[in-house]
């Protein structure tokens, strides 16, 4: 049976990016610009609890949020949870203009792409575009270079991070250079060259100043639907001309993202990688009583300098009752005021590579006795 025209299918935008690249902040800013659309947002996190879901509740009207925590969206055991969420959307998809999916920082978008092309969902949803958010300073520091400087991280961690990062870039239509404040033109050009070298099939590069990007550059791009409607099946195509400067959106045609065989091959490889690399670990710590957010930020910063912790995020409440969101990427720690959450615990989620929960808890205990476990 021929697929219906893409006009009658709900567009889906996928957003990926390595741990701490700024996906949730960028998505939050995007939601504030889309009051003319009704959106369904699926958020997946690698961890025991969802922190990003709480951070995204800035726009309640016209947005329905679905949290899928605890792993890699649409991979292995999480496939059932993802398909269940899609079926829930399928039953009332005409209530949404667009679906946004933020994948875990340790997942490539391939599994979701394959699920969207399956017989269960292909007639209801169409892939609009895949976005990858890049932590530009970390890219320039060589954090994703498997042979990078030793001080960036251990060799095993660098190789694993590079493999995940490259898998995310490989299937991206749009690469978003994020966290670019203070970077020179020369550094931005170097970052663009690095992305082009690693992923020559990326179609557009965009700059996200203050984690903000115009919705015209993210939603309604229709980079897959038109070609799919014409062929009624995924097909291969040659890469477009990617030799132009930043923001050159001309001379581009479809590329091999439409090749289902390539999707399946990459998906299989990525599943194998995660099944045989248990080094990526996550755990949750809770704290008792009122917290000193600045002291905690210093403690988290020192922990990240000593142990292979790549990402920390959570919420704490100070003595005055003000809640704060704590977000750390390696040893970079940010504190921002957060909306009050009734009876919410002080909690931090740590993600690292072969990281010891016991050692991290002991280190925090020495810095803030009796506070965290």
**Tens digit of each residue's pLDDT (9 = 90 or more) over 297-317:** 999 999 999 998 888 988 999
pLDDT at 75 over 80: no
pLDDT reported for residue 235: 29
The CA distances from residue 233 to 90, 107, 225, 333, in Å, are: 21, 25, 11, 46
**Tens digit of each residue's pLDDT (9 = 90 or more) over 202-253:** 999 999 998 888 888 888 898 886 444 433 333 233 333 333 334 433 332 3
CA distance linking residue 347 with residue 344, whole number of Å: 9
**Domains of the chain listed by start with CATH number:** 6-275 (3.40.50.300), 280-367 (3.30.1220.10)
**Percentage of residues in the chain with pLDDT exceeding 70?**
73
Tell me what the mean pLDDT of segment 176-192 comes to.
95
pLDDT reported for residue 2: 47
* Beta strands 174-178; 204-207: pairing state: parallel
pLDDT reported for residue 86: 86
Q: Out of 17-31, 61-75, 161-175, 268-282, pick the least confident.
A: 268-282
pLDDT at 193 over 50: yes
pLDDT at 94 over 90: no
- E-strand ranges in the chain read 10-17, 39-45, 63-69, 98-102, 125-135, 174-178, 204-207, 280-287, 309-317, 323-329, 332-338, 346-353
pLDDT at 112 over 80: yes
């Amino acid at each position: 049976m021929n697929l219906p025209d893409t006009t009658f299918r709900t567009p889906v935008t996928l957003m990926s990016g390595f741990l701490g690249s700024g996906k949730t902040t960028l998505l939050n800013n995007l939601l504030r610009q889309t009051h003319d659309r009704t959106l369904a947002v699926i958020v997946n996190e690698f961890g025991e609890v969802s922190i990003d879901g709480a951070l995204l509740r800035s726009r309640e009207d016209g947005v329905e949020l679905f949290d899928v925590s605890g792993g890699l969206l649409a991979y292995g055991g999480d496939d059932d949870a993802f398909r269940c969420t899609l079926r829930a959307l399928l039953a009332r998809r005409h209530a949404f203009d667009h679906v946004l999916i933020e994948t875990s920082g340790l997942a490539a978008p391939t599994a979701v792409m394959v699920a969207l092309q399956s017989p269960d969902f292909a007639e209801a949803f169409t892939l609009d575009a895949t976005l990858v958010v890049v932590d530009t300073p970390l890219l320039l520091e060589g954090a994703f270079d498997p042979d990078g400087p030793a001080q960036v991280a251990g060799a095993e961690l660098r190789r694993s991070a590079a493999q995940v990062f490259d898998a995310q870039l490989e299937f991206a239509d749009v690469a978003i250079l994020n966290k670019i404040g203070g970077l020179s033109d020369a550094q931005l050009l170097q970052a663009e060259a690095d992305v082009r070298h690693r992923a020559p099939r990326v179609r557009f590069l965009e700059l996200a100043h203050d984690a903000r990007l115009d919705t015209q550059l993210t939603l309604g791009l229709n980079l897959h639907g038109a070609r799919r409607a014409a062929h009624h099946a995924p097909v291969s195509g040659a890469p477009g001309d990617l030799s132009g400067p930043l923001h050159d959106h001309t001379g581009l045609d479809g590329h091999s993202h439409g090749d289902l065989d390539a999707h399946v091959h990459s998906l299989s490889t990525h599943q194998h990688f995660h099944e045989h690399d248990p080094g990526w670990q996550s755990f949750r710590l809770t704290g008792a009583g009122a917290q000193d957010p600045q002291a905690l930020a210093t403690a988290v910063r020192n922990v990240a300098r000593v142990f292979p912790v790549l990402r920390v995020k959570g919420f704490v409440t100070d003595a005055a009752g003000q809640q704060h969101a704590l977000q750390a990427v390696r040893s970079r720690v940010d504190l921002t005021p957060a909306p009050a959450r009734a009876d919410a615990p002080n909690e931090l989620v740590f993600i690292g590579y072969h990281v010891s929960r016991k050692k991290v808890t002991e280190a925090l205990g020495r810095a803030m006795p009796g506070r965290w476990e």
